[in-house]
Amino acid sequence: MAVESSSLSPISADCFAPSQGLLPLEEAWRRIAVSVSPVCAGEDCAVPQAAGRILAEPVVASLPMPPHDNAAMDGYAVSGADLAAARARGEDRIVLPVVRRIAAGDPPGEAVPPGQAVRIFTGAPLPPGLETVVMQEDCVTAQEGGQILVSLPSAVATGDNRRRAGEDVETGQTVLSPGVRLRPADVAMAAAVGRTRLRVFRPLRVALFSTGSELREPGQPLPPGCIHDSNRYGVMAMLRALGCDLTDLGILPDKAPAIRAALDGAAEDHDLVITSGGVSVGEEDHVKGAVDSLGGLHFWKLALKPGRPVALGTVRGAAFLGLPGNPVSALVTLLLIGRPLIHRLQGRAETPLVRYPLPAAFTFSKKPGRQEFIRVWTGTDSAGRLVLRAFPSQSSGVLSSMVQATGLADLSREGTGVREGETLDYIPFTEALW
């Protein structure tokens, strides 16, 4: 349950420090990093169910990986000294008796003296005395008097095709750090070092509703002046991609008592309450007053386009985020402001947006003074090189631009536009939403 004491708010007063003029995005990120506290307690999770969860404690290897020297491929294990001696004698090949066969899962057995070879398979432990594997494609076997002999090239270097014990992970090494969101490879690593359960943070509990008497659910008839609610569905999808445990509170009319009651109830058992629309100061915008009566609200006027106005605050101890009403603004603001806020509340380590420098295959004009994120997608030019293309309309109400786009291009506050061929920072949606 969200705490009711404002002194225990997950967002400290430092986050709401007044600013002169429009707040740069970098300053908003800094305030979130230093002023927002994690709220999710730890819980145990079975390793097979851990993908997508946020690790709450380090995972330390209690054994080396691999635990023993082993063969990197099928072939024959030999002593490097035998091969070196053959090379010194000017011999291109050496013939050795095969005295043992070791497959993956077999014990390595006793030490093998010089002048002998062992048939070995990928992953099998190397027996003491042998440290080199010659791939089977380079070997020729024959049987003579009941003994199997193998002819090997002498040019193989000592230690070839050997995986050393601990060359991947050493005993006592931290293989996974707290705050990381676990990917499939991370889950595999946890299993590889023998873990069956992990300590992870519980999912962030988020409540969401849209406000607007003009909104209708998809599938419902649209009276004159009404539209289907798209914002809430896009925001829900983004929140789930960020690993949140989501409660959909639907559409609320522009009525102050209904909005206040919804906020009050949501704060009881959620860590974060998000609204779309209704946070302006018009006569039909009642979210601001409701939040103020239950906690505190602060508007950030960001030097940002789209999504200049964003509301951050607390409701009875739960965090509050008010998104703009335009569909593109809601999604972009959630990505740029909501994402770092959610990461901090989740207990996740700081995860900056991944950026790739790519040339623009378009021109674009902007006014200086605001950092602008335009919707782009990747394509190729006539030479087959990867380039960025931009949607013709960058209006915050054109949802089709987000459908076409694969990411955002970051244009600096001071700049006045983009020239074709100019290198831009490209932020792909797929990486931003993990």
CB atoms within 10 A of CB 347: 21
**pLDDT band for position 286 (cuts 50, 70, 90):** confident
Same domain, 332 and 297: yes
* 188/409 Cα distance (integer angstroms): 34
Report, as an integer, the average pLDDT of 381-389.
96
| pLDDT at position 20 over 80 | no
Range of the domain at 174: 56-62+168-200
pLDDT at 285: 60
pLDDT at 280: 56
| pLDDT at position 1 over 60 | no
245, part of any domain: yes
Same domain, 228 and 360: no
Same domain, 380 and 266: no
**pLDDT band for position 31 (cuts 50, 70, 90):** very high
| pLDDT at position 418 over 80 | yes
Residue 77 tokens, joined: 């294990």
To the nearest whole percent, how much of the chain has pLDDT over 70? 96
Same domain, 283 and 175: no
**Mean pLDDT, all residues of the chain:** 93
| pLDDT at position 123 over 50 | yes
50, part of any domain: no
46, part of any domain: no
| Residue from 302, 285, 290, 305 nearest 367 by CA | 305
Amino acid identity at 346:
Q
Same domain, 193 and 116: no
Residue where a domain terminates, one of 144, 179, 200: 200
Name the domain count of the chain.
4
Q: Which alpha helices (H) appear in 242-337, and where do they start and end? A: 256-268, 287-294, 327-333
SS3 label, residue 204? coil
| Residue from 311, 307, 315, 286 nearest 298 by CA | 311
Report, as an integer, the average pLDDT of 213-233.
93
Report, as an integer, the average pLDDT of 364-391.
95
Report, as an integer, the average pLDDT of 345-373.
96
Same domain, 192 and 233: no
351, part of any domain: no
| pLDDT at position 2 over 80 | no
Report, as an integer, the average pLDDT of 250-267.
91
Same domain, 12 and 139: no
Which of 116-120, 316-320, 386-390 shows the lowest per-residue confidence on average (mean pLDDT)?
316-320
CATH number for the domain harbouring residue 81? 2.170.190.11
pLDDT at 72: 97
285, part of any domain: yes
Same domain, 159 and 254: no
| pLDDT at position 278 over 80 | no
Q: Which residue would you say has higher pLDDT here, 107 or 254? A: 107
pLDDT at 279: 59
Same domain, 316 and 279: yes
| pLDDT at position 309 over 50 | yes
Report, as an integer, the average pLDDT of 233-252.
96
45, part of any domain: no
SS3 label, residue 91? coil
Same domain, 319 and 234: yes
pLDDT at 298: 83
Q: Which residue would you say has higher pLDDT here, 145 or 318? A: 318
Q: Which alpha helices (H) appear in 271-415, and where do they start and end? A: 287-294, 327-333, 339-346, 400-404
Task: Compute and round to an integer the Cα radius of gyration of the chain.
Answer: 31
CATH number for the domain harbouring residue 420? 2.40.340.10
Instruction: Judge whether 328 and 39 are in contact, CB under 8 Å.
Output: no
Same domain, 226 and 331: yes
Residue where a domain terminates, one of 177, 200, 223: 200
Same domain, 247 and 374: no
| pLDDT at position 4 over 50 | no
49, part of any domain: no
CATH number for the domain harbouring residue 333? 3.40.980.10
| pLDDT at position 321 over 80 | yes
365, part of any domain: yes
| pLDDT at position 5 over 60 | no
pLDDT, tens digit (0-9, with 9 covering 90-100), for 127-175: 999 999 999 999 999 999 889 999 999 999 999 999 999 999 999 999 9
pLDDT, tens digit (0-9, with 9 covering 90-100), for 288-304: 888 888 988 887 788 99
